[in-house]
Every structure is written in C-alpha cells, then in structure tokens.
Amino acid sequence: MAACASFAKLNSLSSPWISNNSFSSRSGSSSLLATRRVSLPIRATSYSDELVKTAKTIASPGRGILAIDESNATCGKRLASIGLDNTEVNRQAYRQLLLTTPGLGEYISGSILFEETLYQSTTDGKKFVDCLREENIVPGIKVDKGLVPLPGSNNESWCQGLDGLASRSAEYYKQGARFAKWRTVVSIPCGPSALAVKEAAWGLARYAAISQDNGLVPIVEPEILLDGDHPIERTLEVAEKVWSEVFFYLAQNNVIFEGILLKPSMVTPGAEHKEKASPETIAKYTLTMLRRRVPPAVPGIMFLSGGQSEVEATLNLNAMNQSPNPWHVSFSYARALQNTVLKTWQGRPENVEAAQKSLLVRAKANSLAQLGRYSAEGESEEAKKGMFVKGYTY
C-alpha cells in the first residue's frame, strides 16, 4: 500500500536510539559521535487521503450527523411507543421516512446506519445509501456488537466487536459506508474503575485503527453516562481522565488523527443532581475539557445528546459555538433529532410529509446552533421534554 509521508509517526519499539535511551556510540569512542541511521516507520494506508477528505466532508459548516443506528430491539421500543409492531417492514418504513427527506443534506452531512439499514432499499427498490449520496450525505455504519459485563470491574461494561471487524468493515465499505461508529460507556456512579477506563480506551483505539485500514473514518465515542447525582466538576474530572487515556492509545495504535471524528458527551452535572447547569456553564466546562485533551488535528467534534431534550441539546451546542474553536463543533444526535418526528408520524402514511418537515425543523435548528445562530424562540413544549432514561441501553 502506498505510504503517506505526511502522517509519519515514530515507533519507539523499532527505533534503537529511543528503546536504548541513547544517542551516542559505544563508550570509549572518540569525541566525534558516530551517527546512527534511525528508521522512521510510516503510517501506511492506501486510504489516508480519502479518510481525511471524508472527515472534512462530514465536519462541514452548518452540518452534523443524523444517528439512526439503533439496534432492532431498540428501534422496536421506539415503534412500540406509537403502537407499531417491531417488524422489518415497519423499521424500513420509518427509516425510509428519515432517509428520503427532501433537502436533508443542507443540514446533515452524515448518517449512522444499523447493519440492516445499510443493506436495505426503499419500497421502490432504491438503496438507502444511494438516497443519502444524492443529498451529499455520507453513509456510516455502527460496527460494535454492544455492551457486556466487564469481569473484575465495579459492575461496569466493556464493548465487544473486535473479532471479525476487519472483514466486516471491508464489506461495509463495498456497500457504500465511509465512516464507522463504536460506542462504549463509562459510568461515574460505578467509579469509574481504572480497568473500565483502560478497556474503553484500548477498545476504541483498536477499532479506530482497524476502521482506517479498511477505508472507514472512525467515530470515537466513549460516552460518559448522565446517570448519577454528581456535580459538573466531577464530570469534568472523569472526562479529562477518559479522553487522556483514549488519545494515548490512539497514538500507540498509529491512528491518523486527521482521519477520525469524536462523539463525546457534553460535560454536564449528573441527571439526578439537584442543580441544573445553564447552556453557558455546560459550554464552558465542555470546551475546557476539549482544549485540554483533544489535538487540533482532529477535524470534528460531533456531540451526542445523551437523553437531553431536543431543545437542551441544541441550546448547549449553540453556546459552544459563540466563539471560534480549533475543531468543527457539531452534533451526532439520535433521539434529539427523531423524537418529534416519530410522534408526528404515528406510523401513518398520510403523516409522512409532516414528519419529514419536523425532521427538517430539528436539523435546521442544530445547523444554526453549529453556526452559533440558534434561538429557542417558538420551540414547542414537546421539544423541551427531557429524554433521559436511567441505565439506557440501545
């Protein structure tokens, strides 16, 4: 594979003068130090330029990510809330509504799909990935296999899915996906333990390296759960620790920072804390964490909503974009883009157009927030309702 010299990284294990901690020749030699040739391994992948281009496309001004990568079980819960059975036909109908919304590409640059959706087509036989491409939206794919208990931890989880990831990623690329998503979680009420933080960081780094080797821009997502009654200062402390570990292992795995995207939680108080924080406070703490931990080489920070109301998530994003940032600070929302859409649709064909318009309303609001120009004036009461679920899984 062609080497990309601009992404050269020094590998301490293969570099003799680093591993031996010495720049000089043998002791007793003359005062003229003998020069030693140092090998500089190159981060070689034929996808390097494409990864950078894809990441920049997704991190384009005024646009963000629509996340519709819920598992079939979680999608079933959403459908049940409007009285629909969890069948492939109903899942297809809902996702068709979302992915065929006219003009969506003005506000949405990427969409994360579940595996079923990546291979599905509309009822007219048009591939969903082609629907996205026509709107200049990059198709993405959820590649992790979900959370399972982490033995030896404080009742914490780890994310599985590395086995077979390379071959699966190659197939996803052939199907049209150009970025990937892997979600692991960290729980503040559970400690978090050093073991859980290290496991989360290492798993994300391995996934990111495998994704890049197969042409997919990895979204790096260690979600710090909202569960708990802790203050915002504690969230900041944990977030800094988690992201420090994540970038340490990303570097060890020779991941190209210019070809990744991040999906962090906003730094907020625990959902059960007695005092809520204002958007300005959340922006201050979140940007403090990012500036301390995230290199400016990373193109985009695509926040998750994590159970915030539609309006909360948008207000917080808007507050973070009141002054320039080193990265594109945007959104990768699921429930905070879909909640009103689902309730408007109600599973009825005659409501599809109205539901699509409600999606555009929410997408436009977050587009304005990415540009720092959003106002909550005129927002509905439904959009202000929180969606936090304790111990939420999907």
**Contact yes or no for 384/311 (Cβ under 8 A):** yes
Tell me the one-letter amino acid at 354: A
Distance (Å, rounded) from C-alpha 197 to C-alpha 193?
Answer: 6
Q: Is 26 left (phi over 0), alpha (psi -120 to 50) or beta?
A: beta
Q: Which residues contact 49 (CB under 8 A, 6 or more apart)?
A: 4
Give the per-residue SS3 of 302-333. Answer: EECCCCCCHHHHHHHHHHHCCCCCCCEEEEEE
Question: Is 115 annotated as catalytic?
Answer: no
Distance (Å, rounded) from C-alpha 282 to C-alpha 267?
Answer: 6
E strand or H helix at 108:
strand 108-113
Question: Is 241 annotated as catalytic?
Answer: no
Distance (Å, rounded) from C-alpha 305 to C-alpha 264?
Answer: 9
Residue in 221, 223, 310, 379 annotated catalytic:
221
Question: How many CB atoms are located within 10 Å of the residue 194 CB?
Answer: 11
Question: How many CB atoms are located within 10 Å of the residue 18 CB?
Answer: 14
Residue in 142, 223, 263, 310 annotated catalytic:
263
Question: How many CB atoms are located within 10 Å of the residue 386 CB?
Answer: 13
Catalytically annotated residues: 221, 263
